[in-house]
Amino acid sequence: MRRHLDMEVGFLSEFAGGQRKFLNVDCEPGKGPQPGAADLLEETYCHKIATGKLAGIIPDTSAEPQTACMPVTKTLGIGCYLGVPIVLPGGHVFGTLCCYSGNPNTSLNDRDLSTLTAFAEIATQLIEMSSFKERSKTEMLFRIRDVLENDLMAMHLQPIMDLGSDTVSSFEALARFETAPQQGPDKWFEDAQEVGADEELQLHAIKKALEALPALPQEVTLSINASPSVVLSPRFARLFTSAPLDRVMLELTEHAAIENYRHLHDALSSLRSAGLKVAVDDAGAGYSTFQHILNLQADVIKLDRSLVTEIDRNLARQALASSLIFFSRQTGSRLIAEGVETKQELETLRHLGVEMAQGYLMGRPAPLQNALESHTGSPLANAC
C-alpha cells in the first residue's frame, strides 16, 4: 500500500481503551513506530481524521495549523500524511489505515486518498472476517463451558458382539450432547480443540463413561475414547484410580502422526500393567493408523467402516481385511469390525475370521438402561 502511494510508513491502527494502537506497520528501515506501540487517542491524527476534525490528506503538516503544533508530528517525524477511518458494519470505528513520509509532498491529491480508501475497504472486510471468527470462537467456548458446568453431556452405549458366542462382549461409550446446536459429537470435539478446551471436554467424557461401568455385568467390558494428547495429560491417569482396568478398553482416536510414541508408551505403561487394553481405531483408514498399530503394540485393532461397508461385494476390501486378521493373529491382538450394517457384511466378516463386530446391525448407541434391555439373550439379559 505505502509503496503504491510512495510513502515511507504505512500502518493499520485500532482504537481501544482510549488509545490508538499500531497493529500492523510496514516501513522503510529505521522509520516508523513498532507494532504494538500505543498513544493517547485524542493526541493522534487518526482520531482527528476519524472524527472529521482533520482532512484525510495533509500534503504538508507544517502548513496545517492543527498538525503543526501536535507533539506526534515531531515524535514520528511526519511531513505528509494520508489517513482513512476503518468503519465496521454497524458503524463501529475500528481504527484507521494511514501512511506518511518525513518530507512534505504537495502532489498528494484526492486520487491518492481514493486509492487508500480502496485499500481500507479491503482491510475492513478482512477485519470483519477475523472478528466473526473470534466471535464464533467465543460462542464455541461459551457452549462448551455450558456443557461442562451444567452436565449437558450424556453417554450412549453401543454393543460390540462376540461373533463366536453371539453375545455382547463390550460396549463402546459414545458422547451425546443435550444442548444446541444440533451437531454430531465429532463436531463438538473439533470445536473444543479449536478453542483450547479439547482436553477438558475429553476428560469429562471419559469420567462420564466410567460412571456406566458398575452397571455392566462383570464379563462385559467398556470401551472409551481418548486422543494421544489427552492420554499424555497428568489428569488422565487419575480418572482411573478406582476403575477395574481389566474391564476397560481405551480406543486411541488419532489419525495424525504421533511424534513421540515413547511418551505415549510411558503414559500408558502402569495402566496397561493393571489390565487396561489399548485399541487402535479406524485401522485401514490411512497410513498413520498402521503406524499406531505397529508402534503401540495394540491389544485390539478396529477395522474402519470404510473397509467394512459392502465388504461382501468387494474383493479388495476382503483382501485387506484378511491381511489385518492375519496380522492380529500373529501379534496376539484381537480384531473388531466397525460399521457393520447388513447381514451380508456380517457373514462375510465371520467367514474371514473376524472375532468381534460393531454396528447398527447389532445395535445403535442408546442410553445405558435402553442398551441393557435391548440385548435379550446376551449375558446382559441376566443383569437386568
123: domain CATH number is: 3.30.450.40
Does the N-terminal peptide bond of residue 181 adopt cis geometry, omega within 30 degrees of 0? Answer: yes
CA pair distance 172, 281, nearest whole angstrom: 12
Q: Looking at the structure, tell me whether residues 356 and 329 fall in a common domain.
A: yes
pLDDT for the residue 288: 62
Q: Looking at the structure, tell me whether residues 84 and 198 fall in a common domain.
A: no
pLDDT for the residue 377: 46
- Give the CATH number of the domain where residue 220 resides: 3.20.20.450
CA pair distance 342, 364, nearest whole angstrom: 13
Q: Looking at the structure, tell me whether residues 109 and 182 fall in a common domain.
A: no
Residue 217 covered by a domain: yes
pLDDT for the residue 376: 44
Enclosing domain of residue 256: 151-383
Residues 231 and 268 sit within 8 Å (Cβ to Cβ): yes
Cβ burial of 8 (10 Å; 0-12, 13-18, 19+) is buried
Q: Looking at the structure, tell me whether residues 118 and 197 fall in a common domain.
A: no
CA pair distance 318, 40, nearest whole angstrom: 71
Nearest to 44 by CA among 34, 35, 53, 57: 53
Residue 108 covered by a domain: yes
Q: Looking at the structure, tell me whether residues 318 and 216 fall in a common domain.
A: yes
**Tens of pLDDT, residues 235-278:** 999 999 999 999 999 999 766 668 789 999 999 999 999 999 99
381 pLDDT more than 50: no
Q: Residue 284 — pLDDT band, cuts 50, 70, 90?
A: low
Among 132, 163, 184, the domain-final residue is 132
**Tens of pLDDT, residues 211-231:** 999 999 999 999 999 999 999
Residue 327 covered by a domain: yes
Q: Looking at residues 12-41, what average pLDDT do you find? A: 93
Q: Looking at the structure, tell me whether residues 125 and 156 fall in a common domain.
A: no
Q: Looking at the structure, tell me whether residues 178 and 127 fall in a common domain.
A: no
Q: Looking at the structure, tell me whether residues 328 and 267 fall in a common domain.
A: yes
Q: Looking at the structure, tell me whether residues 113 and 157 fall in a common domain.
A: no
Up-side HSE of residue 333: CA atoms within 13 Å toward CB? 24
Q: CA dihedral in degrees (33, 35, 37, 38; nearest 10)?
A: 100
Phi/psi at 336 (5° precision): -120, 130
**Tens of pLDDT, residues 290-318:** 788 888 899 999 999 999 999 999 999 99
Residue 42 covered by a domain: yes
**Tens of pLDDT, residues 176-214:** 999 988 899 999 999 999 999 999 999 999 999 999 999
- Mean confidence (pLDDT) of the chain: 92
Residue 209 covered by a domain: yes
Q: Looking at the structure, tell me whether residues 286 and 329 fall in a common domain.
A: yes
Residue 172 covered by a domain: yes
Q: How many domains does the structure of the chain reveal? A: 2
